[in-house]
Structure 1
Amino acid sequence: MEWQPSPNDLQILIDLLFQSTSGQKEVQDKIRTELERFHTIPEYNNYLTYIFQCRELNLIVRNVAGLLLKTNIRNYFPKMPRNVQEYIKAKLLPVLSDSQIQLRHTVGNIVANLIKKSSYGEWKELLPFLLQALDSNNEVLIEGSLYTIELLCEDTKEKLDMEEYAMNILIPKLLVFLQSGSPLFKRKAIISLSHLIHVLPGALILHMKEYLKSIFALGNDENPEIRLNVCRSIIRMVYKQLSFLMEYIDEIIKYMMKASCDPNEEVSLEACEFWSAIAESKQVCAQHLRPFLPQLIPILLNGMVYSQEEIDGLDQTEDNNMKPDREEDIRPSAFFAHSSTKGSVSSEKVVSSDMYQEGQQQQNSSGNNDDDDDDDDDDDDDYDDGYSSDYEDMWTIRKSCAFAIDKFSEIYESDYYLAIMLPEIESRTKPENDWTKRESAILALGAIADGIRGGLNKYLPTVVPFLINSLNDPKPLIRSITCWTLSRYSQWITYEGRDQFLNNLVNNLLNRVLDNNKKVQEAACSAFATLEEEASDMELVPFLPQILQTFANAFQKYQAKNLLILYDAISTLARSVGPELNKTDYIRIILPPLVTKFNTIPDNNKALLPLFGCLHQICASVGVGLGNFIVIFYNRAIGIIQASIEANHKHMQNPKLCDKPDSDFIVSSLDMIQGLTEGIGAGIESLVSNCNLPALLLECMRIGGFDILQSAFALVGDLSKNCIVHMKPLMNEYLKILSSFLNNETPTVCNNAIWSISEICLKDPEQVKPFIPAMVEHLIKIISIIDLHRGLLENTAVLLGRLGGLAPDYLSQHLDRYCKRWCLIMRRKYDDFEKDSAFRGLWLIINANPNNALKHLMYICDAVGSWKKMDPSLHDYYTKLLVMYKTAMGGVWNEFYDQFPAELRSILDTNFFNTVQPQQLQ
């Protein structure tokens, strides 16, 4: 007997659903409470299904019931009673013929979510129903079924591919719909088939020629949505199944050039994505696109010109620096530098210098992203680049075309590519041209900079002066794009072009840092940060007075958003010039505006985070030159850490009443103290002695979270290095936590744990020894992973070497498991104290069991030979070691030694064997 609802409960639920559309908070809260009661009824989802499918009820009530049912299926379907699951399935599909499109589409979403949570095998009636519906004369039912099929192809394509019998029927039916007189049916069929490209069912392979022929025939359809999806389908084929297109590639290229100029901007944008898609297949691009480049490049350059709509969406006011930023434009956390990564694992740069980087991350929706079209669950936010003005968040034709010519510059030989590009660019830079065309030419110069670095060098003595002059153009958008383009050539300017252009560039770029237009300020500040990164340690030192004064003056002009970029430029400068910043005159210029901000921003304001990120680097570079501010900065950081720990305790005790504190405040404060420790070295001891920092640090480590742990581990290492006496009482607890993160699941956390333990090995070796067996197991696993970051591998090798210094007998027992990898990693590490200490540990390991090391002797010698200048005592150790092996092997040594590469033998003979003194043989 079919389930029937209780009339009383049914009416109560109908009334609640109707009232749920009220905008009053009190009503919403009451309804939410009442609905919670229904959740306790096992048949609650039966009630929702009944209401949803009942055509006599109010449309609003039915729609709300359907949306609630969709949510419940997505969250709870596997846990629903079997009879409830079957009731839902039985009642859903007839709603696909409902006259209301929103209800039909809700059915489609429910069905897709249900299959995601189960399988087609558990709903055997579904596909036969949909396939039969496609043959119906009822266009409403066909639309609902096609919409459902579209979602199933998108969300369950892998499961659908397993239904071979159904696919053999479905794909021919969809191909028929490509010929339909209904644009809506054609569009849904195109979209469904394009989703299946990713799994390429056998039925689609069987009908591939028919499919492609149908797609190409729709390329000139009068409906722009059809043309858009034709482009999208071709692009998906390029990414996933390019081989099927090769027979038609020339015609496809011609079509896409035409589509890139489509009067409909959405179609044009989609078509432009084809060029970066085909550039992913470099060989195909190099061979088949090459003949078309002379026609294609002008199309792409034209696409890089701002449209009128884009211009209207940008604030072009010349003097707008007094206009406050919108709150949504300011995202301090996006600019918050997390800089406590130790060793060679570098942290990400705060502000990207790539103005079209969104596309490199996103590649739009055509190739790799299926969350598009009609799916109402699509909530992707892939365009976010740290800014939030409407235009800058959008992926546009301009950015797509710029990205394409950038990709092409990496594929084609520079002389050929520049022979096409430069005349086109030059023709667009003429003064009589409209400013938008000149601006696009400057963008193009920036776009090709990375791909053809060497090939463009001979033109740069002409190009760079043009760009520097363009920094003073009357149009702010030209000034801003010129800043970005110059940043792309900053490496060449700071080296080959240094004497000729660096002074002029610095002066003009600093003028733009103080521009009256906010967009120019932003671009100039970012460009200057890039220049700081590219310059060697001393290149910018002669310019420090004017740089610092400009940055100090910028505090008076900048609104909130550009202050974030200014902080980054200041911290990058400090990192670049290091101790050169520690001069009284320089400190008097740059510190006052930073301190003013420091004193005016409350402890709980996120604007404090990027400021702390900036001060962290200032502290590390200036150190003792900060004077009394050392204590001020330190105490505030300690206070914020204490407050955050207390807030976390309250949250743990009562999570409903007390919010969890933002971990970024702990991280930024730990980083501030780490910067101070790096800057003043052993001077940190007096500050630590007057507070409970070691205990607070342990609390932070117990709170956890990868961001906190990364910074806390770095600080443990720095404090152990500089004031071990205060760390020893809690060292055993530190080591328990540090050793538990010796894995590669979170590389930056693991890296800092390893680096920290390495420092503790030198300062408190006895407390490390009990942990050595467990540590060695983890470290051997890490060092065996080939594709990890080089810095992490080097830090791992250093720690193994230092542990060898503490327990050589134990490490020698496991030498076979890590020796070869250790040597291959350490031979690439530059000579420094870390390398020295690691090699001393290896020497002790080898001496503990020389026979076990013999099979690895070639790799050991290769690593030893990598030294450019070895400490005399270490050189003496290894000289004796090599002579010992040579002597012990006697007559077989020459045969064994001949197996070494000739270059290595030459190094060993010159630097070791030929330097042996008689006393070294004793």
Structure 2
Amino acid sequence: MSCLNSILMVNNDPVNAIIDDFLAQLFARAHDPEEEVQKQLCRSLTLLLDSHIEKMMPNLPNVIDYIILKTQDLNENIALEACEFWLSLADNNEICKSVLGHFLDKLIPVLIKCMRYSETDIILLKGNMDEEDAMVPDREEDIKPRFHKSKHGAAGTVSADDEDEDPDGDDDDGSGEWNIRRCAAASLDVLASIFGKDMLPILLPILKEALSHPEWEVKESGILALGAIAEGCMDGITPHLPDLVPFLIGMLSDRKPLVRSITCWTLSRYCTWVVSDEQAKTKYFIAVLRGLLERILDGNKRVQEAACSAFATFEEEGGDTLIEYLPEILNTLMRAFSIYQAKNLLILYDAVGTLANSVGHALCHPDYVQALMPPLMEKWQKLGNEDKELFPLLECVSSVASSMGLAFFPYCEPVYVRCVAIITKSVQQTLESTQRPNEVEKPDADFLIVALDLLSGLAESLGQHLEPLVQNSNIMQLMAYCGVDQTAEVRQSCFALLGDLVKACWQLVKPHSQTFIQILSYNLDPTHVSVCNNSIWAFGEMALKMGPEMKQYVPLVLPHLIRVMNMQNGQRTLLENTAITIGRLGQYCTEEVAPSLNLFIRGACYSLRNIRDNAEKESAFIGLCLMINMNPSGVVGDFVFWCDAVASWNTPKPELKEMFASILHGFRVQVGDANWNAFTAQFPAPLKERLSAQYSIC
């Protein structure tokens, strides 16, 4: 049967001819006593579902009945293989909804029962789940590797791509391996996203029974299920949250660590409601905040981990609402620094960094700086440059530096020096590994990336105050190497740093401008979106500083920018940065760029209209106005897009508004009132009203 499974995965055609006979043979094995046969049977049905669902449809009700039976098999290996079927079925949303709906009353109780900790789980948890183990050092093999996400964006912003959430609260049900509990929770999660509140009439009575059950394993599985359905069933579950959230807050103090830890995760799934619903915020915000803070200092490491992760989510949702509670929050987080072991320290760094991103410059208050920086710098000084723990600490310090701004200045020199040392060593190793690949191993790029990002954060936060440190280092030469590194994420972070240094200390970058412009020009390939984005952004910042000196580089760069500007379904930030950079080139190199106006004006207008009024948008529009004045025929075919882009401004500065008015009225005079009126008659009403109100034109 495993051979047939291989055929299913590799080649669909042979199976099409024999699918009905094949299914008949599979069902003939339904009661085979061999474990491996049962496992392969369930796997075969899942593979057929993926590859031949149209052939499966007549038999799908029978298959579903059988898989429900096998999902509750006493043999966990068989049950897990069966449970995978539900995740595959959920991949086909419409079929799942039409066929599985009739079976939810059978399936949901089975999934929730499977979400209890099994005997195997409890053995893997070492049989002792009540211990106060906060002071027990972690083993190195227990610490998962962490991966840094590079810095990118219009103004050197940090990527905030969401990480996959673990429906089991984190990766510690003992082994960290995929098991029936995790699979059942994931299945309930995806089914909730498909069926939504329609599941609740079946689900709520089961949840009510589980949550009030005297056995902790049953109660814990109910709390896990409540968290699993949060996203998909939010509309239907919201009326019940005034009862459920206080229950969860109470469960944070349960005597069982596994109950406390899963409660932290489930609360994190509902913290959007706690923060955004005004009545909920009044009643539960402080209780959830303090409940999670208390669990951050729990005596059990699993609970600490879950609480810290949940609190990071709470911070993201709470934003500046957290500012008035900063003394309490910082006191807790700093106490955690003194009791956490290596594994949980990594999560603690993330919670501190998330707090900094959430409360912003509120963190620069002297009391908060004094509370936060000494413990961070103590950790900073203890760690070696190759210590894996340095990794998340660098990310944390980067966020803190960005939030504190100039308040971080007293701490910046050791941070700057260490980052340059890390970059230097990485560049040297990279060069050596290129020259002697069989002798020297290529360095871990993540250390290089995070060091570049931290320097970028310092430049963004401290501006010209960073100049003496930059002047006394070889960072420009190091960046020239990083800009040609084979790893795209290294180049991405390098160009973010370059743009920030251009803004912070241009006079130090200027002597190297030709080198950097050449490097940037090699990275204008939009297939590497983030690299291209940062390259274009950095080039735009250089254009703003160099002004007319940029003319010699227009032939080198403009064709690439036009190609990006005309991409179909291009990434929004990339297109916006490209439009801004083209506009800046047009501002200072009008004669060189204006002849190509018709090649990019529509895309530029479309992208720029979506940006809020700011200095970047203003510099782009000044350039576009100058180019239109020099080459008015270049905008004629797309003049409606220009009008729409002009109307996107709420309060342009007087000089810019005058330029807009001059172009609009100039076109009206040129084409005559009759043609103008016919042209504007096609405008949407809001556009006509806006232009009329601001420029008395329509």
1:190 aligned onto 2:22 = no
The 2-side partners of 1:601 and 1:191 are apart by 50
Q: Match for 2:373: what amino acid?
A: L
- The corresponding residue for 2:520 is 738
- The corresponding residue for 1:322 is 135
Q: Map 1:220-299 to 2 at 5 A.
A: 220-299=31-110
Q: Matched residue of 1:539: which SS?
A: helix
- Mark the CA change 1:402 to 1:626 in structure 2 (over 3 Å): closer, same or farther: same
Q: Kindly indicate whether the alpha-carbon contact (under 8 Å) linking 1:532 and 1:540 is maintained by their aligned counterparts in 2.
A: yes
Give the gaps of 5 or more residues in structure 2.
Answer: none
Q: Map 1:153-232 to 2 at 5 A.
A: 187-196=1-10, 199-201=11-13, 203-232=14-43
Q: Map 1:472-511 to 2 at 5 A.
A: 472-496=253-277, 497-511=280-294
Q: Kindly indicate whether the alpha-carbon contact (under 8 Å) linking 1:738 and 1:753 is maintained by their aligned counterparts in 2.
A: yes
1:909 aligned onto 2:692 = yes
The 1-side partners of 2:62 and 2:71 are apart by 14
Shift in Å, 1:748: 1.8
- The corresponding residue for 2:302 is 519
Q: Map 1:637-716 to 2 at 5 A.
A: 637-716=419-498
Task: Answer with 1 or 2: which has the greater Rg.
Answer: 1
The 2-side partners of 1:881 and 1:526 are apart by 54
Q: Kindly indicate whether the alpha-carbon contact (under 8 Å) linking 1:402 and 1:443 is maintained by their aligned counterparts in 2.
A: yes
- Mark the CA change 1:600 to 1:836 in structure 2 (over 3 Å): closer, same or farther: same
- Mark the CA change 1:908 to 1:850 in structure 2 (over 3 Å): closer, same or farther: same
Structure ranking higher on relative contact order (CA contacts 8 Å, 6+ apart): 2
The 1-side partners of 2:293 and 2:558 are apart by 52
Q: Map 1:353-502 to 2 at 5 A.
A: 353-355=165-167, 391-414=174-197, 416-430=198-212, 432-496=213-277, 497-502=280-285
Q: Kindly indicate whether the alpha-carbon contact (under 8 Å) linking 2:550 and 2:589 is maintained by their aligned counterparts in 1.
A: no
Q: Kindly indicate whether the alpha-carbon contact (under 8 Å) linking 1:823 and 1:859 is maintained by their aligned counterparts in 2.
A: yes
Shift in Å, 1:325: 1.0
- The corresponding residue for 2:404 is 622
- The corresponding residue for 1:886 is 668
The 2-side partners of 1:278 and 1:345 are apart by 39
Q: Kindly indicate whether the alpha-carbon contact (under 8 Å) linking 1:552 and 1:589 is maintained by their aligned counterparts in 2.
A: yes
Give the gaps of 5 or more residues in structure 1.
Answer: 1-186, 358-384, 917-922
Shift in Å, 1:765: 2.8
Q: Match for 2:678: what amino acid?
A: E
Q: Match for 1:245: what amino acid?
A: M
The 2-side partners of 1:847 and 1:687 are apart by 44
Q: Kindly indicate whether the alpha-carbon contact (under 8 Å) linking 1:190 and 1:230 is maintained by their aligned counterparts in 2.
A: no
Shift in Å, 1:794: 1.8
Q: Map 1:546-565 to 2 at 5 A.
A: 546-565=328-347
- Mark the CA change 1:281 to 1:646 in structure 2 (over 3 Å): closer, same or farther: closer
Q: Matched residue of 1:410: which SS?
A: helix
- The corresponding residue for 1:895 is 678
**Structure 1, residues 617-676: CA drift from partner, whole Å, max 9, x if none?**
111111221343222222222233333334444444544444443333332322222121
- Mark the CA change 1:448 to 1:343 in structure 2 (over 3 Å): closer, same or farther: farther
Q: Map 1:142-161 to 2 at 5 A.
A: none
Q: Kindly indicate whether the alpha-carbon contact (under 8 Å) linking 1:319 and 1:517 is maintained by their aligned counterparts in 2.
A: yes
Shift in Å, 1:838: 1.7
The 1-side partners of 2:571 and 2:166 are apart by 23
**Structure 1, residues 742-786: CA drift from partner, whole Å, max 9, x if none?**
112322222211111111111123443322223222222223333
Q: Kindly indicate whether the alpha-carbon contact (under 8 Å) linking 1:345 and 1:751 is maintained by their aligned counterparts in 2.
A: no
Q: Match for 1:409: what amino acid?
A: A
Q: Kindly indicate whether the alpha-carbon contact (under 8 Å) linking 1:510 and 1:550 is maintained by their aligned counterparts in 2.
A: yes
Q: Match for 1:190: what amino acid?
A: L
Q: Kindly indicate whether the alpha-carbon contact (under 8 Å) linking 1:624 and 1:630 is maintained by their aligned counterparts in 2.
A: no
Q: Kindly indicate whether the alpha-carbon contact (under 8 Å) linking 1:353 and 1:484 is maintained by their aligned counterparts in 2.
A: no
- Mark the CA change 1:345 to 1:580 in structure 2 (over 3 Å): closer, same or farther: closer
**Structure 1, residues 559-586: CA drift from partner, whole Å, max 9, x if none?**
1111111111111111111111001111
The 1-side partners of 2:499 and 2:377 are apart by 28
- The corresponding residue for 1:311 is 122
The 2-side partners of 1:495 and 1:312 are apart by 41
The 2-side partners of 1:703 and 1:407 are apart by 40
Q: Match for 1:438: what amino acid?
A: K
The 1-side partners of 2:557 and 2:621 are apart by 19
Q: Match for 1:458: what amino acid?
A: P
**Structure 1, residues 239-282: CA drift from partner, whole Å, max 9, x if none?**
22211111122222212211211222222112111212111211
Q: Pick from 377, 383, 400 the counterpart of residue 601 of structure 1.
A: 383
Q: Matched residue of 2:195: which SS?
A: coil
User: RMSD across aligned C-alpha pairs, in angstroms?
Assistant: 2.3
Calculate the TM-score normalised by the size of structure 1: 0.72
1:334 aligned onto 2:116 = no
Q: Matched residue of 2:515: which SS?
A: helix
**Structure 1, residues 390-417: CA drift from partner, whole Å, max 9, x if none?**
8453111111111122112222242x22
- Mark the CA change 1:352 to 1:275 in structure 2 (over 3 Å): closer, same or farther: closer
The 1-side partners of 2:236 and 2:643 are apart by 40
Aligned length: 693
Q: Match for 1:448: what amino acid?
A: I
Shift in Å, 1:720: 0.5
Q: Kindly indicate whether the alpha-carbon contact (under 8 Å) linking 1:801 and 1:841 is maintained by their aligned counterparts in 2.
A: yes
Q: Matched residue of 2:40: which SS?
A: helix
The 2-side partners of 1:824 and 1:219 are apart by 60
The 2-side partners of 1:739 and 1:571 are apart by 34
The 2-side partners of 1:351 and 1:560 are apart by 21
The 2-side partners of 1:275 and 1:648 are apart by 46
Shift in Å, 1:494: 1.3
- Mark the CA change 1:804 to 1:697 in structure 2 (over 3 Å): closer, same or farther: same
Q: Map 1:750-769 to 2 at 5 A.
A: 750-769=532-551
Q: Kindly indicate whether the alpha-carbon contact (under 8 Å) linking 2:458 and 2:466 is maintained by their aligned counterparts in 1.
A: yes
Q: Kindly indicate whether the alpha-carbon contact (under 8 Å) linking 1:755 and 1:799 is maintained by their aligned counterparts in 2.
A: yes
The 1-side partners of 2:163 and 2:7 are apart by 40
**Structure 1, residues 508-560: CA drift from partner, whole Å, max 9, x if none?**
10011111111111111111111111223x21001111111111111111111
**Structure 1, residues 320-342: CA drift from partner, whole Å, max 9, x if none?**
111111111224x5154534555
**Range with bigger deviation, 697-706 or 752-761:** 697-706
**Range with bigger deviation, 685-694 or 256-265:** 685-694
**Range with bigger deviation, 841-850 or 305-314:** 841-850
Q: Matched residue of 1:540: which SS?
A: helix
1:590 aligned onto 2:372 = yes
Shift in Å, 1:903: 2.8
Q: Matched residue of 2:533: which SS?
A: helix
Q: Kindly indicate whether the alpha-carbon contact (under 8 Å) linking 1:794 and 1:826 is maintained by their aligned counterparts in 2.
A: yes
- Mark the CA change 1:189 to 1:636 in structure 2 (over 3 Å): closer, same or farther: closer
Q: Kindly indicate whether the alpha-carbon contact (under 8 Å) linking 1:514 and 1:554 is maintained by their aligned counterparts in 2.
A: yes
Shift in Å, 1:223: 2.1
Q: Which runs of 4+ in 1 moved over 6 A?
A: none
1:873 aligned onto 2:655 = yes
Shift in Å, 1:452: 2.8
The 2-side partners of 1:252 and 1:871 are apart by 68
Percent identity over paired residues: 37
Q: Map 1:33-44 to 2 at 5 A.
A: none
**Structure 1, residues 35-64: CA drift from partner, whole Å, max 9, x if none?**
xxxxxxxxxxxxxxxxxxxxxxxxxxxxxx
**Structure 1, residues 339-359: CA drift from partner, whole Å, max 9, x if none?**
4555487525586543459xx
**Range with bigger deviation, 491-500 or 804-813:** 804-813
- Mark the CA change 1:896 to 1:340 in structure 2 (over 3 Å): closer, same or farther: closer
- Mark the CA change 1:344 to 1:245 in structure 2 (over 3 Å): closer, same or farther: farther
